[in-house]
Copies of this chain bind each other. A is one copy, B any other.
Amino acid sequence: MATTEQDLSELLERNGVRATARRLEVLEELARESDDVTAQQLWGRLRERNSRAGLATVYRTLALLSERGVIDVLSHHGGEQCYRLCGDAHHHHLLCEKCHRVVEIQECGLDDWVTAAAKQHGFVATEHRVEIIGLCADCR
Contact = CB atoms under 8 A, between A and B. Distances in A.
A133 B133 CA distance: 20
Given A73-B78, A79-B79, A126 B105 contact: no
B133 A128 contact: yes
A133 B126 contact: yes
A94 interface: yes
A69 to B, nearest CB: 15
Contacts of A131: 128-129
B81 A81 contact: no
A132 to B, nearest CB: 5
Interface stretch (A23-31, A40-48, A107-115): A107-115
Contacts of A107: 117
A125 B132 contact: yes
A92 to B, nearest CB: 8
B109 A136 contact: no
Contacts of A125: 94, 132-134
